[in-house]
């Protein structure tokens, strides 16, 4: 399931985040790469322990906690602290699969990477290339979103970042462990929840069938979730 989260960040949040990370010191992006990724990856990144990255990442986490679409689609249990990367001058990230488990450097914090997320932080008209291409059952889906928008997709997907041939692509990226590890089960729950919310607009939340469907949703979540 590939889900677009529109306007995750508003203009003020975006401005504050860019002020923080643009003033920080960037390093070779392979500081967080596994073996396979290191062979394909060519970009810059903020160090995980950078105060600017940590402060900007907390702003993104707060925005996620207030976003009902993200919560419904991801059913998050643990979120890896957001990281930040930059591509320019032909830099790219070739086809790869994210590591199954991500461990925060210097801590015991770890997540099973069920879902990956990219939050775009640059005006798409200011750079050429840089599309996130995610392989799905319907073929490769290319994603290049306005600044402040985000995309959520399975970490098990083959994906890449196309070369940035002009300008600079800046984004935040991270992984999360869902309460429901199976992607098909999460899709079913998301579709059911979306239908319930849509029906409730016309039928009211106290409608008997809405209550029945809500019960089905929670019973399926109870069956599939690890919390």
Can you tell me the mean pLDDT for 213-220? Answer: 97
* pLDDT confidence of residue 33: 52
Which CATH entry fits the domain spanning 183-224: 1.10.150, 1.10.10, 3.30.70, 4.10.860?
A: 4.10.860
Q: Consult the annotation and say whether 159 binds a ligand.
A: yes
Is 98 assigned to a binding site? yes
36 is written with which tokens? 């396979």
Span 101-108, average pLDDT:
89
Question: What φ, ψ does residue 146 adopt, rounded to 5°?
Answer: -60, 155
Q: For residue 144, name the pLDDT band (cuts at 50, 70, 90).
A: very high
- Paired residues of 84 in beta bridges: 172
CA 147/CA 61 separation, integer angstroms = 16
The answer to whether 5 and 69 have CB atoms below 8 angstroms apart is yes
Q: Read off the pLDDT of each residue in 51-71 and give the average, rounded to a whole number.
A: 97
Which residue ranges make up each domain of the chain?
Answer: 3-178, 183-224
Residue 169, marked binder: yes
**Binding site annotation covers 226?**
no
Q: What pLDDT, on the 0 to 100 scale, is given for residue 227?
A: 87
Which has the minimum average pLDDT: 105-114, 164-173, 179-188? 105-114
Annotate the chain with three-state secondary structure: CCEEECCCCCHHHHHHHHHHHHCCCCEEHHHHCCHHHHHHEECEECCCCCHHHHHHHHHHHHHHHCCHHHHHHHCEEEECCCEEEEEECCCEEEEECCCCEEECCCCCCEEECCEEEEEECCCHHHCEECCEEEEECCEEEEECCCCCCEEEEECCCCEEECCEEECEEEEEEEEEEECCCCHHHHHHHHHHHHHHHHHHHHHCCCCHHHHHHHHHHHHHHHHHCCC
Tell me the pLDDT tens digit for each residue of 77-99. 999 999 999 999 999 999 999 99
Question: What is residue 32's predicted lDDT score, i.e. its pLDDT?
Answer: 56
Q: pLDDT category, 116, cuts 50, 70, 90?
A: very high
- Say which range, 10-14, 123-127, 188-192, 201-205, has the weakest mean pLDDT: 201-205
Whether 37 has a pLDDT exceeding 60, the answer reads: no
pLDDT at 30: 75
**Is 3.40.50.450 the CATH number for 3-178?**
no
Q: 146-183 in b/e burial notation, b at 16+ Cβ within 10 A?
A: ebbbbbbbbbebebbbbbbeebebbbbbbbbbbbbbeb
């Amino acid at each position: 399931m590939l889900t677009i989260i529109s306007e995750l960040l508003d203009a003020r949040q975006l401005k504050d985040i860019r002020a923080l990370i643009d003033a920080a010191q960037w390093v070779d992006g392979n500081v967080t790469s596994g073996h396979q990724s290191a062979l394909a990856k060519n970009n810059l990144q903020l160090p995980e322990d950078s105060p600017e990255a940590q402060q900007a990442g907390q702003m993104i986490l707060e925005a996620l906690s207030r976003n009902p679409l993200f919560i419904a689609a991801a059913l998050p249990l643990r979120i890896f602290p957001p990281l930040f990367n930059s591509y320019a001058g032909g830099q790219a990230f070739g086809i790869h699969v994210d590591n199954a488990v991500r461990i925060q450097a210097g801590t015991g914090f770890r997540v099973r990477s069920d879902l990956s997320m990219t939050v775009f932080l640059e005006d798409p008209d200011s750079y050429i290339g840089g599309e996130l291409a995610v392989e799905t059952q319907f073929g490769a889906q290319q994603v290049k979103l306005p600044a402040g928008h985000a995309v959520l997709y399975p970490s098990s997907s083959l994906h890449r970042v196309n070369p940035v041939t002009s300008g600079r692509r800046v984004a935040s990226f991270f992984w999360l462990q869902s309460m429901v590890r199976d992607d098909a089960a999460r899709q079913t729950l998301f579709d059911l929840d979306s239908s319930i919310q849509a029906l409730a607009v016309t039928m009211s939340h106290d409608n008997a069938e809405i209550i029945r469907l809500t019960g089905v949703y929670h019973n399926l979540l109870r069956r599939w979730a690890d919390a």
